[in-house]
Structure 1
Amino acid sequence: MSTVEFLREWRVLGFGKHPEIGAVVQARLRKAGLAADIMVLPDDESGDAELAARLGKAEYDGVVIGSFISGQDPNLPPTEQTTYWFNRVLNVIHAHAPAARIILVRNPDDALAAIARVLG
């Protein structure tokens, strides 16, 4: 079975800060046959509420957190603000999708491999 065939079984929700990157990642994941929903997440209460609502609409196998938010981007080191944001989203995910696996990516090109690594 190929990686793409294996990934078709998984449903993931991904989020990040930049809409243009999110659109590219969503297209790439869907082209690979993955059931993927990608959203832009603002760093505020409305973003937290939107994330909670999205998590409540479907049962996700994994939640992909963009590298800017998680501090995994080697070119954009974490700040106090992004660390606080990352902690908040982890707690929102834990509260609304406790069975979903957390998937951290280092850059947009890493998303498919990271999903396979964590869910596979």
Structure 2
Amino acid sequence: MNDVKVISIPDDTRIIINVGFEDKNVDKLSLGQKVDIVCDGIKITDPDTKKSLGFYYPLIEQLEITEIYEKFSVARKIEEKKYKPFSAANIPPIFREEVRSEYKHLNIDESIFIDNKKYKNYISIGDKVRFV
């Protein structure tokens, strides 16, 4: 299988990656699975010995798989927030708060056509994906 990567960005709350339930080489794919979107590797060299120490893959975003299809999956950034629907002091604390999931906006390269693969803080088509 080829590298797992971002293949489409339908809007600023979701991305599509090139792996689905038909991919037999991916055993970790499941709803709720966390994935890291990372930049291309930056070669790390020891300044004294000049030896390569490997590659560093800067994290752009950590997302969660929310939909799985045959050949692709959708990932989103989900943040749980606590809401207080009641303000009455005589209501037991367990009923004063509820937790709701909310989709958060992603740091997306709005021009998408920029092919800048240096360290960046936004998601672009072609970015690598690794399973957490």
- TM-score bucket of the superposed structures, by smaller chain: under 0.3
Which structure features the higher share of helix residues? 1
Q: Which has the larger radius of gyration?
A: 2
Which structure features the higher share of strand residues? 2
TM-score of the pair, normalised by structure 2: 0.22
User: Using CA pairs below 8 Å that are at least 6 residues apart, which structure has the higher relative contact order?
Assistant: 2
